[in-house]
Copies of this chain bind each other. A is one copy, B any other.
Amino acid sequence: MHMIVTGGAGFLGQQCIARLLKNDLLVLAPEAGKAIRSISAFDVAEGALQHPKLHYVVGDIADPHQLRALFCDDTVAIIHLAAVVSGTAEADFDLGMRVNLDGTRHLLETARAQGRLIRLLYASSIAVFGGDLPAMVRDETTPTPQGSYGIQKYIGEQLVQDYTRRGFIDGRSVRIPTVVVRPGKPNGAASGFASNIIREPLAGRPALLPVDPATAMWVASPRAVVTMLMHALSLAPSAWGWHRAINLPGLTVTMQEALAALKAVAGESALALVEHRADPAVLRLVNTWAARFDTARALAMGFAPDEHFEAIVRAYVEDHPEALVDH
């Protein structure tokens, strides 16, 4: 069986592909597991991961012709991760609309045109929530996105919902918490500082905390997110029912707690590398984000969050020995 991962060269894309190839089985309930024949990783560039079953396709997701060429007769599932991140979508409106909205729509159209029910996992984001929020955000809380990224992601959810209702695809949308700790270089996400303040000091480099240390965020580790994405893909349609968008479980953590975990793992010298300097632009955006969720539905469906924040930091240390200095 063939699978497509858009944004397949990106951070989450590479992790998802690695996980899929490790299992080498595409478990799509209620059908039995089938061997993976091939994975097409569609992105603007190739990724580092190499495997005989992995094929990179470099292209533009807003070009329907390129998307059409991605599909094979045995394509059964798509993980749609390709996106322009929040900071970039806010800075370049047209680029965000093109990639996040047009790209998603073209992908849905192309999947529909295959004439069989292809399963599509859509990576949405908690950035669909914002503004005046209840103390606890639930699946049924009205999204009122405060930025273009959240608007575009939310529109994508609506399309996935309707394409699914009409039987064009078997879609499911997951609103991913802020992923911490992201390895590598900072990306354009406004939430990037939450990773920076852990990753950079662990590597012996300084980092900026642009928000109040009491600022809380809703986070999940890469490991937990990848596990949840695999789970979201594998669940039978009946497990989803009508509503195809869900808030994924995560942890509520204040930046202060995050720094305490950094100190517990890497000591005072690492902590000393973090400088608190408020950035009004980041603060304005982050303050509109939701930090506390009741994810009862997702938990009942078998999605699981990280244990606690220190475990997230320790997992990063385990997974990225190359990105550490001795503390």
Contact = CB atoms under 8 A, between A and B. Distances in A.
A166 interface: yes
A144 interface: yes
Nearest to A138: B142
Contact of A148 (B93, B154, B162): B162
A142 to B, nearest CB: 4
Given A142-B143, A145-B158, 19 more contacts: A93-B166, A131-B242, A140-B142, A141-B142, A142-B142, A144-B243, A145-B162, A146-B165, A148-B162, A148-B166, A151-B158, A151-B159, A151-B161, A151-B162, A154-B158, A155-B155, A155-B158, A155-B159, A158-B158
Interface residues of A, number: 21
**Top 10 nearest A-B pairs by Cβ distance?**
A142-B142, A151-B162, A155-B155, A151-B158, A155-B158, A148-B162, A140-B142, A154-B158, A93-B166, A151-B161
21 contacts: A93-B166, A131-B242, A140-B142, A141-B142, A142-B142, A142-B143, A144-B243, A145-B158, A145-B162, A146-B165, A148-B162, A148-B166, A151-B158, A151-B159, A151-B161, A151-B162, A154-B158, A155-B155, A155-B158, A155-B159, A158-B158
Contacts of A146: 165
Interface string A150-168: 0100110011011001100
A148 B159 CA distance: 9
A166 B148 CA distance: 9
A70 to B, nearest CB: 21
Nearest to A144: B243
Contacts of A131: 242
Contacts of A142: 140-143
Nearest to A141: B142
Contacts of A151: 158-159, 161-162
A148 B108 CA distance: 15
A151 B159 CA distance: 8
A186 to B, nearest CB: 24
A143 B243 CA distance: 12
Contacts of A243: 144
Contacts of A141: 142
A87 to B, nearest CB: 15
A86 B242 CA distance: 20
A154 to B, nearest CB: 6
A162 B130 CA distance: 13
Interface string A130-142: 0100000000111
